[in-house]
Amino acid sequence: MNLLLCVITPFLGAALVAAVARLGTWQAAAAAAGVTLAAGAWLAPLVGGTFQGTTLIERYTWMPREGLDLTFRLDGFGLLFALMILGIGLLVILYARWYFSPQDRLGRFYTGMMLFMGSMLGVVLSENLIQLLIFWELTSLSSFLLISYWQQRTEARQGARMALTVTGMGGLALLGGILLLGQITGSYDLSVVLAAGDQVRAHPLYLPTLLLILLGAFTKSAQFPFHFWLPNAMAAPTPVSAYLHSATMVKAGVFLLARLFPTLSGTPEWTWIVSLTGLTTLLIGAVFALFKHDLKGLLAYSTISHLGLITLLFGLGTPLAALAGVFHIINHATFKASLFMAAGIIDHETGTRDMRRINGMWGVMPYTATLAMVAAAAMAGVPLFNGFLSKEMFFTETLGTVAQLRFGWLLPLTAIVAGIFAVAYSLRFIHDVFFNGAPIDLPRTPHEPSRWMRLPVEVLVALCLLVGMLPALTVEPLLAIAARGVLQGPLPPHSIAIWHGFTPALWMSLIALTGGVLVYEGRRPLFALAARLEGRLEARRPYDWLVAGVFGVARWVTVRLDLASLQRMLFLFVLSALALGMAGFWSAPMPLTGAGPLLPFDPVSLLVALGLAACTASVVVLHRSRLIALILLGAVGLIVSLIFAKFSAPDLALTQLSVEVVTIVLLLLALYFLPQSTPAESSRPRQVRDLLLALAAGGGNAALAWAVLTRPAESIADWFLTHSLPGGGGANVVNVILVDFRGFDTLGEITVLALAGLGIYAMLDGLRLPAPAADAQGRAWDPDAHPLIMASLVRLLLPLALLVAVYILLRGHQLPGGGFIAGLVTAVALIMQYLANGVAWTRARLPANLHPLIAAGLLIATMTGLGSLALGYPFLTSSFVHFHWALVGDFELASAMAFDLGVYLVVVGATLLILIHLGLVHDLSRPPAEEPR
């Protein structure tokens, strides 16, 4: 339980800190410190066991089937990191309390820091690698919040985004790598992965796995060529830099290298990639650091260089090198965190970080200067300070490769050059800031900072000294268990001591120290050279270029995608349909024409078919004259209804006929407000293209229809014919299908109709369009809008039409008819009233509010269905009774007829709703004087 609690405490603590921060800065700092101590307290009881060499694993079930359980692991290496995270975290909390100015929101900083601390603890205490990745990404996200703390500054925003992009990219690559690793080993658990080294290294997926994981590690640890994000992240407040960019987050990358060292190392690929990357980073970081005038810039590049050094050590692949790597992780964390804090103090006191202006601080803050000098000496690798010890081990290890590799001698040589520059930039940090004349034009007058602000630096510097002078008494046990955790095996024989005699490594240290002093002495021409190259060698430039390119290309593509062109959508749709249809059609050889019998050929049918084709073609040709095209469209519909009639489908013919009438009337009404002709918009090539596509799609459709219709049909249709009367109580199979067998479809369709009515009402409600005063040819409308004869005739027709509608409705179950057709007939009759007498006249006599009618129709239909539920049958189960009525004769009364009534009401209601509101758009736009009489 302890490990889970240790990791979770900072996350929960983040909420606590955010809440407490309202009370004041001290309270916020105290809460943050308390949370850190609490997290440490969960860990404390486990320390003893870890020092005895046990590896503690805690498992909580999460997604066991996917190999993803919440699993924590505490071994020596994890403990080392946890101690650094918590210990330096505590110091940074104290330091930050003094660093920030009163107008900064400390609560936000501490909250972000708690989140980060929890994420980082999660990384180092994870047993499951996917879980490690989750925390890994969380460190990227929380560091985004911390780097962007001063979000009003451009460089803070840019630095944060850059860090997030680069480390986020690494995180995604790492995810891929871990997935592959899991695929190879069959588990994401470190215990399994660490034991499966041979299997992993021999696997064909080893190289991609390695590359992806290294991409993750290198981006996080700011290795060349991804190092540039780190200097740009210096826009963060200095406590953030001290914590994230020296001791913790950037160490996550090398942590991962060390963690997977037993699994991945020991191959030529590992050695070459990791050590070359480390070597390059070591050198580039050291050289660039010297030329940075920004205090934190210098430290950032120095960090890069030291991370390169650690990476190089792990890249060498020997157990002793790995041990040295772990040792340098500890040493670097202590001296670099204290240097960042010292830099923060100087920045805080002087108001600038430019070393060309900050000079002679020795006179103002000798105490801070002493602390900084100790830390800088450790950074330079001066004997008696901790940096010296690990650096000497490093030199020793580089010498080991001379005999093994062809150009092995390059390694110690480069190491010495980097060492020289490390001494030079450390010297510059001290000399430029604390001596070198008087300060130039400082924004503030510096003096020694608060005692509490120095305390964290003192603690860290004391550690540098203690470790540097008494390594065996201080760091040795911790280092031993940590290195054992890394190597997963016995430690190689080693001795950490200040004095090993006049070894080659000592000579290398001496050369570096002397050389560094010399380089610093001769810095002026070098600075001049650097000034000339300023900006040209920045790796940031290709990054900026790349990011701008990504956004630019994406924008270019998006603008071209997002044309809101309906024509293009339809073009692609038809093209896709054509491609899909053809792919199916030609997927296997097959005769186009099937073996089914064809109907006998008769000339009338041919004539009708030709008429249909001619009308359809004319619609296409004449589509610019909208009125004519619309009339031709009506003709197409009428011919279709004739075809229905010919094939003995009177219901369909009736429906088609009435639908056609209503549709054309509605379209005519809408057309009144639209231009009478469509302008030619397509270019000639595009017309040809569209024509070809249309012909192909239409031809394809025809081919499919031909192929299907010429094959003998077997379907469930016979069942409907036999069951219609005995089962559904109706002789009209079409109607029984509509209201009974597939009544649920009809319920859906009347809902669609109702929705269409409501939708159009919602769209037109309140819409006022200027009605054209004249037609397309400029002729004024006939002043007699509602001719008397027509009006009278239509009024006379109304009762007759309604009678027909009722008749059709009632007989529908047995003979052609039904609610749908009856509804349309009624609608047509009423539409004629509106057309002949005007909307206003008709509205005065007919209910204008059609919503209740629609709702009632839907309700009746639904209730009919629900009735059967009450009787214990499924929804929409129909029942019917046979009646004998004198005069009328025998007939069946089916519950489905009530359903049909619902259909009827919805059809009437929805159609009229649409019509009236189309009319109202028109009517109200006229001046009152022209209101129809």
Partner 1 sequence: MSHLVIAPLLLPLLAGILLLLLRGMDLRWRRGLALAAVLGQLALALLLTRAVADGDILVYALGNWPAPFGICLVADRLAAWLLVTTALLALFALAYGSLGTDRAGRHFHVLFQLELFGLNGAFLTGDLFNLFVFFEVLLIASYGLLLHGGGRLRTRAALHYVVINLAGSALFLIAAGLFYGLLGTLNLADLAVQVAAVSPDRLPLVRAAGLLLFGVFALKAALVPLSLWLPGAYANTSAPVAALFAIMTKVGAYAILRLSTLVFGGALIIDWLLPLALLTLAVGMIGATGSDRLRAQVAYLVLASVGTLLTAFGLGSAAGIAAGLYYLPHSTFAAAALFLLADQIAGQRGDLADRLEPGPVLGRHWVLGVLFFLCAIAMAGLPPLSGFIGKFLILRAALDRPSAPWVLGVVLVGGLLALMALARSGSRLFYKTIDSAPAADTPTPPGAALGLVAGLLALGVAMTLWAGPLNDYTDAIARQLLHPAGYVQAVLGPRGGARP
- In the window 718-737, what residues touch partner 1 (CB under 8 A)? 719-720, 723, 727
Q: Is 62 in the site for partner 1 (CB under 8 A)?
A: yes
Chain centre distance of CA 68: 22
Q: What is the dihedral of CA 95, 97, 101, 105, to 10 degrees?
A: 130
Closer residue to partner 1 in complex, CB, 581/932? 581
Q: Can you tell me which of 61, 101, 683, 777 binds partner 1, judged by CB under 8 A?
A: 61
Closer residue to partner 1 in complex, CB, 204/268? 204
Question: What is the number of other CB atoms lying within 10 angstroms of the CB of residue 581?
Answer: 16
Helix (H, G, I), strand (E, B) or coil at 781: coil
**Size of the residue set binding partner 1 (CB under 8 A):** 122
- Pairing of the two strands 56-63 and 68-74: antiparallel
Q: For the stretch 549-566, what's the b/e string if a residue is b when 16 or more beta carbons lie within 10 angstroms of its beta carbon? A: eeeeeeeeeeeeeeeeee
Q: Can you tell me which of 32, 79, 94, 138 binds partner 1, judged by CB under 8 A?
A: 138
Q: Can you tell me which of 15, 473, 529, 570 binds partner 1, judged by CB under 8 A?
A: 570
- Pairing of the two strands 880-885 and 68-74: unpaired
Closer residue to partner 1 in complex, CB, 29/758? 758
Closer residue to partner 1 in complex, CB, 691/763? 763
Estimate the crossing angle of helix 2-20 against helix 25-51, to 10 degrees: 170
Closer residue to partner 1 in complex, CB, 199/868? 868
Q: What is the DSSP letter of 625?
A: B
Which tokens go with 816?
């052609």
DSSP string, 653-711: HHHHHHHHHHHHHHHHHHHTTS-SBPPP-S-HHHHHHHHHHHHHHHHHHHHHHHHHHTS
Angstrom CA distances, 263 to 186, 193, 201, 206, stand at: 14, 7, 7, 10
Non-local CB neighbours of 780 within 8 Å, separated by 6+ positions: 773, 774
Closest separation in Å from C-beta 663 to partner 1: 14
Which tokens go with 367?
């105490």
Taking the C-alpha atoms of residue 710 and residue 703, their distance in angstroms, rounded to an integer, is 11
Closer residue to partner 1 in complex, CB, 553/617? 553
Helix (H, G, I), strand (E, B) or coil at 780: strand
Q: Can you tell me which of 541, 873, 883, 931 binds partner 1, judged by CB under 8 A?
A: 873
Q: Is 68 in the site for partner 1 (CB under 8 A)?
A: yes
Q: Can you tell me which of 410, 547, 667, 840 binds partner 1, judged by CB under 8 A?
A: 547
Closest separation in Å from C-beta 718 to partner 1: 9
> Within positions 191 to 210, which residues make up the interface with partner 1, using CB under 8 A?
none
Taking the C-alpha atoms of residue 628 and residue 634, their distance in angstroms, rounded to an integer, is 10
Closest separation in Å from C-beta 747 to partner 1: 8
Q: Kindly tell me the burial class for residue 139, based on how many C-beta atoms sit within 10 Å of its own C-beta (0-12, 13-18, 19 or more).
A: buried
Mask: binding to partner 1, 696-715, rule CB under 8 A, as x and -?
Answer: -----x--x--xxx-x-xxx
Closest separation in Å from C-beta 147 to partner 1: 11
Question: What is the number of other CB atoms lying within 10 angstroms of the CB of residue 864?
Answer: 23
Q: Is 559 in the site for partner 1 (CB under 8 A)?
A: yes
Q: Can you tell me which of 717, 769, 793, 803 binds partner 1, judged by CB under 8 A?
A: 717
Closer residue to partner 1 in complex, CB, 587/777? 587
Q: Can you tell me which of 207, 577, 620, 691 binds partner 1, judged by CB under 8 A?
A: 577
Q: Is 660 in the site for partner 1 (CB under 8 A)?
A: no
> Within positions 74 to 133, which residues make up the interface with partner 1, using CB under 8 A?
130, 133
Q: What is the DSSP letter of 234?
A: G
> Within positions 749 to 808, which residues make up the interface with partner 1, using CB under 8 A?
749, 751-752, 754-756, 758-759, 761-763, 765
Q: Can you tell me which of 533, 550, 606, 617 binds partner 1, judged by CB under 8 A?
A: 550
Taking the C-alpha atoms of residue 400 and residue 315, their distance in angstroms, rounded to an integer, is 13
Closer residue to partner 1 in complex, CB, 528/566? 566
Closest separation in Å from C-beta 521 to partner 1: 44
Q: Can you tell me which of 44, 470, 572, 621 binds partner 1, judged by CB under 8 A?
A: 572
Q: Is 745 in the site for partner 1 (CB under 8 A)?
A: yes
> Within positions 467 to 496, which residues make up the interface with partner 1, using CB under 8 A?
none
Rounded to 5, what percent of the chain is helix, strand, coil?
70, 5, 25
* Among 931, 908, 756, 760, residue whose Cα is nearest residue 844: 931
Mask: binding to partner 1, 586-615, rule CB under 8 A, as x and -?
Answer: xxxxxx--x---------------------
Q: Is 435 in the site for partner 1 (CB under 8 A)?
A: no
Q: Is 883 in the site for partner 1 (CB under 8 A)?
A: no
Host H or E run for residue 71: strand 68-74
Closest separation in Å from C-beta 302 to partner 1: 28
Q: Can you tell me which of 24, 53, 363, 584 binds partner 1, judged by CB under 8 A?
A: 584
* Among 364, 362, 357, residue whose Cα is nearest residue 373: 362
Question: What is the number of other CB atoms lying within 10 angstroms of the CB of residue 537?
Answer: 13
Within 13 Å, how many C-alpha atoms sit on residue 492's CB side?
A: 12
Mask: binding to partner 1, 492-531, rule CB under 8 A, as x and -?
Answer: ----------------------------------------
Q: Is 151 in the site for partner 1 (CB under 8 A)?
A: yes
Q: Can you tell me which of 533, 537, 695, 869 binds partner 1, judged by CB under 8 A?
A: 869
Q: Can you tell me which of 24, 66, 435, 609 binds partner 1, judged by CB under 8 A?
A: 66
Which tokens go with 395?
């030199």
**Binding segment (CB under 8 A) for partner 1, from list 33-41, 159-167, 410-418, 519-527:** 159-167
> Within positions 162 to 181, which residues make up the interface with partner 1, using CB under 8 A?
164-165, 168-169, 172-173, 175-176, 179-180
Estimate the crossing angle of helix 319-350 against helix 386-400, to 10 degrees: 140
Peptide bond into 225 cis (omega under 30): yes
